[in-house]
Structure 1
Amino acid sequence: MRPGLLLATVGILVQVPVRAVNESPGKKIFDVIYPRKRHVLHKRDVKEDQGIKKQEKYEDQVQYEIDLKGKTVVLHLEKNKDLLSPDYVEVQYLSTGESVTSSPQIMENCYYQGHILNEEMSTASISTCRGLKGFFEHKEQRYVIEPLGLAKDEEQEHALYIYESQEQHLPETSCGVDMIEEGETLLEKTLRSGNNAVKQEDVNQKKYIEYYLVLDNEVFQKYNQNPEQIRQRVFDMVNFINMLYKKLNIQVALVGVEIWTNGNKIKVSPNANVTLENFSNWRGGILPKMKRHDVAQLITGIDLTGHTVGLAFMSTMCSPYHSVGIVQDHSYELLRVAGTMAHEMGHNFGMYHDTYVCKCPSSICVMDWALSFYIPKDFSSCSRSSLEKFLRIASPSCLKNVPLPSDIISTPICGNLLVESGEECDCGSPEECSNVCCDATICKIKPNFKCAFGECCENCQIKKAGTLCRPTKDDCDLPEMCDGKSGSCPEDRFRVNGFPCQNGQGYCLMGKCPTLQDQCVSLWGKGAQVAEKSCFDINTAGSIYGYCRKVEDTYISCKAGSSTCGKLYCYGGSDVLPWKGKIMSFLNCKTFSSEHNNQEVSMVANGTKCGNTSVCINGDCIDVENAYKTSNCSSKCKGHAVCDHELQCQCEEGWLPPDCDNSTLVFHFSIVMGMLVALSIIVIIAVIIIRHQSTAKRKKNMSQSCPTSGSKPRQWKPMKRQQEVQSTHSHEMGPMSPPVSTYPMESNKPPLCSGIHPQA
């Protein structure tokens, strides 16, 4: 604190509420403080040439001293390098309605996450762009810090807000998603039925979310038509969301921000269900063509009906249409809105509202059923369990896109467990590194090694090209093989959209094979079956019992030939569903009508087969080629190459990239033949050696029975004659030959030994 200044509780910062009922009565200025920046010196900084190293405006790690209740605490912050994706874009609109897309290559990264020093359980989400602004926790108490007045320096005066536990003062704000919390959920039933092929290691792997935000015209007007002010607010909110989801090993990266500066592109209604449906249709039809992303949210300045401040579809992460949510910008306090954004994203991940049985590490968790003014800092035990079940069942592939080292926008730091530009590996500090292939002191692969991690890395060496590193899971999956150049397995690829699957029962769409039968089982459980065609004919009526599309409160009937693309009709199975609504059953026809926004669970999914060469798209049964436009791709993939879901050519299993001309079978056969030839040569050599050794041994034994040089000659004597040799008359024989004795003859010479010449 500066001398001469009285530390007191003052009411300097006054905010104009959006809705008086939504502003926090528990928030007040606790103190006027003057943060003091500390110099943080790292061991590795000493090794660098400070004259060559570029001085950055915002350091990778910073510390600030803050006077808190008469005690000095140190706020330790580390730059959030994952805030923006490398291909981050911004979209705005001219007065003519023409969109303008910009891709800022260099943006100041002044967004940090961290904790109070020596309080590892504390959390902090702070920006230092113009003073210190954000949230931190100290000894179970939450604080918000903001610069006062025009202060732009972090050491100028700041206001410190404290959030007190006064739940009786909280207004009733809530999420619009209303679900059954008790009893066995659909996910649990599916798990129990054995439909959980996803491995535990896949569930535990780090996930990546490409996050797209849209802000409507009401938000644009609310913040004085100032895109820069809106941008800073959005970055602060996403920084907080990123901090929350890191606790689940999920990285949230902002890939784009779109501001509807020239009017809304959809009808934004106070009815949250209508707005969500409209935004879902707009996002599914237009946004993917503009920007690749995994989930999108609309931030609206419209006051939603009732106490609802957010709404999202359940368990739809990575869905082409329904991986969306809407959030009301219900407070000037950005962290409160960020908490709602994280909450609605949680629903996309299959998370239910917390109940009394859930264990929350803090006083309030992200999925609390009522969105109060208290800033959430963690996920409950129930949320973590729901997320794991969703990942096991849905196996959303979009979360596996790992950013390349060049994708991370920041100065690399060796030892932060992130492989960044200029690094070959990063296994943490030398003390914590357990990777034998990586030199933790310089983040380089050790000499004579080729790789340090990945499915294509074995014993620090890269596996041969064509080695299978990710086998196919089902009909709609493609195998991935090592390229012989990298230790990492290539990105997961799928069959081209429209490829026949499940013995012709369906067509692939983004790695899945949607069929009516599977959807009936998913909704109603084991034993459910698809209803007769006559049940689906009800969809031509255009009523709550049967329709293909819903626009606001109007039910649009199915066109001729598209009746199986509307309401899903089944029979059998269970009648216990995890949503509130009505089950309508007659004869052998059964369907479900949700009371809220879970319309998609009772509608036939996009991509479902509805004819011999047709699929359902937005309630219409259309030709597969018209739906996916894949013929050009299929024609350019020659030989043993096939088209994937992104219209790129991929090698079939058993064929080597990049040209798919060489078979891995031939490759492996040649290796086997080479090994057999080598083995045969080794055997022949071994036989020769053994024979040579055996012969030498025989000779040695024989030499031991022969006299040595200088020894006395052995006397050989004839044996006693036992039988007389009878004479043979000459007339009985041919020419006379000298008789050969059968007795050894006496000799003064020894017998000759093989290989040994007698001495003269």
Structure 2
Amino acid sequence: VIYIITIDEKPYTLHLRKHSFLPQNFLVYSYNETGFLHLESSYFKTHCHYQGYVADIPNSLATLSICSGLRGFLQFENVSYGIEPLESSARFEHIIYQVKNENPDIPLLAENYSNIWQKDQPYKYNLSSQETTLSKLLPQYLEIHIIVEKALMFTQFKLTVMLSSLELWSDKNKISTNGDADDLLQRFFTWKRDYLILRPHDVAFLLIYRKHPTYLGATFPGTICNKNYDADIAMYPDAITLEGFSVIIAQLLGLKMGLTYDDINNCSCPRATCIMNHKAVGSSGIKIFSNCSVHDYRYFVSKFEAKCLQNFSNLQPLYQNQSVCGNGILEPNEDCDCGSQEECQFKKCCDFNTCKLKGSARCGSGPCCTSDCEISVAGTPCRKSIDQECDFTEYCNGTSSNCVPDTYASNGMLCRLGTAYCYNGRCQTADNQCAQIFGEGAQAAPFACFKEINSRIDKFGNCGFKSSQPLSCNQKYVYRK
């Protein structure tokens, strides 16, 4: 993909290529007002993210999302620019602005971190003849689960950072977020050991807004692929830009993979800022890993087993194949599952520790279970319609605490006075689909565009294929593809 943009009256050509750091089945976890965990798969966002360079600008970097307009960063040698759409513009105009990072003068880690870890587990190494060279490394993948309280810099290492899932503490914080980053790290690690055990990830980050933190983060250095230390804390203070925050994440990941801070007298990054430099958080422009960081990483992957980086997993949550008591989902070998002790609304009906019914209770969870542990009478609404024309309200059947299976109108049935079609319980219009894929305000192209493209009878414009050959469109179907 090629874009031409103008900065200070000078045109720049961006060369972009789709960069996959979200798996196709990227998972988003959130909590409703009663504290129940909700899981949603976001399939339609995997095509949005692109990475590339600016033509004729050596070592430049462009990282953009092209959905809902252009959003992202352009990094030149000594300056960075942000780009985002103007919300009030009806002509798809964008604003480009210089990102001015201020050095927050806040250390990344507590002062005792280096002393503790260099004594027990040194991770500043000398190179040996048995090291693995970067050119011999297979592509590697680091899978991250990120939690958010109420950027891709690792290509030098042939390492792709994959965001496996995202959790939003949308109802309340699951742990106390008071205290310094190192206290939070211990608290977060204890929590995640119980609650994230079945979600695939190599490291879990807790991102916290803190107006004036003492430190910017906390990690266990040199412990990647060690499940006893697979947690990190990152603070987002007022003085940090999004570009600066991405450097914080990169530095924490770097420390976890055996990197150390650069000695400015012995480490170099030609025409760029070194990522593992203490002042990188407050700098603008291109950022790369120094020769020292490359040496550290080469030694680390050759000396220690980093097998978790060598798998490209499908990232399916493990609980799809096994029962987990307390997750709020009724699974095999469970009488009921009302969630955790804090979440359970049926404590007198269901034992939240064993997921077994208490006493004479007939049910202990589910939309068709009453507060008296009885199954709701047949005909009680249990799932409201989400679309007046294409979806139906479901009712309890009088024999189960669960709602009956979701039912909806047959796919292809006309709706909106014959101008749209039902699909999976929704009345689908071209405008709605465009808004769903590209963001609010996106609309379908004019009929003339559909007619021109779909009349080409090639792999882009057709009404299906037969024997691998594109089929022409009947006039009445040109707009409905």
User: Normalised by the shorter chain, which TM-score bucket?
Assistant: 0.5 to 0.7
Provide closer, same or farther for how the CA distance between residues 285 and 162 of structure 1 changes in structure 2, counting only shifts above 3 A.
Answer: closer
Q: CA deviation at 1:187?
A: 4.4
For the Cα contact (< 8 Å) 2:143–2:202, is it kept in 1?
Answer: yes
Q: Which amino acid aligns with 1:110?
A: C
1:246 aligns with one of 155, 160, 163 = 155
Q: CA deviation at 1:297?
A: 0.6
1:366 corresponding residue in structure 2: 275
SS class of match (1:86): coil
1:259 and 2:203 matched: no
Write the mapping of 1:264-343 to structure 2, written as runs, cut at 5 A: 264-289=173-198, 291-303=199-211, 305-306=213-214, 308-331=215-238, 333-343=241-251
2:291 corresponding residue in structure 1: 381
Write the mapping of 1:97-246 to structure 2, written as runs, cut at 5 A: 97-107=35-45, 109-151=47-89, 155-163=92-100, 170-176=103-109, 178=111, 179=114, 186-187=122-123, 200=133, 204-217=137-150, 240=151, 242=152, 244-246=153-155
- CA–CA distance in 2 between the matches of 1:105 and 1:208? 20
SS class of match (1:336): helix
Provide closer, same or farther for how the CA distance between residues 304 and 323 of structure 1 changes in structure 2, counting only shifts above 3 A.
Answer: farther
Unaligned runs of 5+ residues in structure 1 are 1-60, 218-239, 408-760
Provide closer, same or farther for how the CA distance between residues 279 and 249 of structure 1 changes in structure 2, counting only shifts above 3 A.
Answer: same
TM-score (norm 2): 0.58
- CA–CA distance in 2 between the matches of 1:152 and 1:250? 40
1:64 corresponding residue in structure 2: 3
Q: Which amino acid aligns with 2:170?
A: T
> What whole-Å deviation, never above 9, does each CA across 1:270-308 have from its counterpart, x for those lacking one?
31110011112222332122x1111111101234642x1
For the Cα contact (< 8 Å) 2:123–2:259, is it kept in 1?
Answer: no
For the Cα contact (< 8 Å) 1:304–1:328, is it kept in 2?
Answer: no
Write the mapping of 1:593-742 to structure 2, written as runs, cut at 5 A: none
Q: Which amino acid aligns with 2:93?
A: Q
For the Cα contact (< 8 Å) 2:103–2:279, is it kept in 1?
Answer: no
Q: Which amino acid aligns with 1:300?
A: I
- CA–CA distance in 2 between the matches of 1:100 and 1:182? 41
TM-score (norm 1): 0.38
For the Cα contact (< 8 Å) 1:324–1:348, is it kept in 2?
Answer: no
- CA–CA distance in 2 between the matches of 1:263 and 1:273? 21
SS class of match (2:24): strand
Provide closer, same or farther for how the CA distance between residues 304 and 158 of structure 1 changes in structure 2, counting only shifts above 3 A.
Answer: closer
Two-structure CA RMSD over aligned residues (Å) = 3.1
2:425 corresponding residue in structure 1: none
Q: CA deviation at 1:191?
A: 7.2
2:387 corresponding residue in structure 1: none
Q: CA deviation at 1:335?
A: 2.1
- CA–CA distance in 1 between the matches of 2:94 and 2:126? 56
Greater relative contact order (Cα < 8 A, sep 6+): 2
Name which one, 1 or 2, has greater alpha-carbon Rg: 1
> What whole-Å deviation, never above 9, does each CA across 1:54-92 have from its counterpart, x for those lacking one?
xxxxxxx2x222223442221122222x12113321111
- Aligned residue pairs total 308
Provide closer, same or farther for how the CA distance between residues 73 and 105 of structure 1 changes in structure 2, counting only shifts above 3 A.
Answer: closer
2:14 aligns with one of 41, 52, 75 = 75
- CA–CA distance in 2 between the matches of 1:116 and 1:103? 33
Q: Which has the higher helix share?
A: 1
Q: Which amino acid aligns with 2:182?
A: N
The runs of at least 4 consecutive aligned structure 1 residues that moved more than 4 Å come to: 180-183, 187-192, 198-203
Q: CA deviation at 1:139?
A: 4.9
Q: Which amino acid aligns with 1:75?
A: L
Moved more, 333-342 or 346-355: 333-342
2:312 corresponding residue in structure 1: 402
Q: Which amino acid aligns with 1:399?
A: L
Q: Which amino acid aligns with 2:122?
A: L
Moved more, 395-404 or 244-253: 395-404
- CA–CA distance in 2 between the matches of 1:336 and 1:215? 17
